[in-house]
Amino acid sequence: MELLCLEMDTIVRARPDPNLLYDDRVLQSLLTIEERFLPQCSYFKCVQKEIQPFMRRMVATWMLEVCEEQKCEEEVFPLAMNYLDRFLSVVPTRKCNLQLLGAVCMFLASKLKETRPLTAEKLCIYTDNSIRPQELLEWELVVLGKLKWNLAAVTPNDFIEHIMRKLPLIYGNFIQVLVAGKLSDAVSLHS
Q: What is the pLDDT of residue 190?
A: 45
Task: State the architecture of 38-153 in CATH terms.
Answer: Orthogonal Bundle (1.10)
Query: What is the 3-state composition of the chain as percent helix, strand, coil, each rounded to the nearest 5?
Result: 60, 0, 40
Per residue in 49-80, pLDDT (tens digit) is: 888 889 999 999 999 999 999 999 889 999 99
Residues of the chain within CATH 1.10.472.10 domain(s) are: 38-153
Residues, the chain: 191
Q: What is the pLDDT of residue 189?
A: 45
Per residue in 171-184, pLDDT (tens digit) is: 555 555 555 554 44
Compute φ and ψ for 164, nearest 5 degrees.
-60, -35
Question: 63 near 80, Cβ under 8 Å?
Answer: yes
* Mean pLDDT of the region 10-30: 71
* Mean pLDDT of the region 93-109: 95
* Mean pLDDT of the region 102-119: 94
What is the CB neighbour count within 10 angstroms for residue 137?
12
Which residue type, as a one-letter code, is found at position 135? E
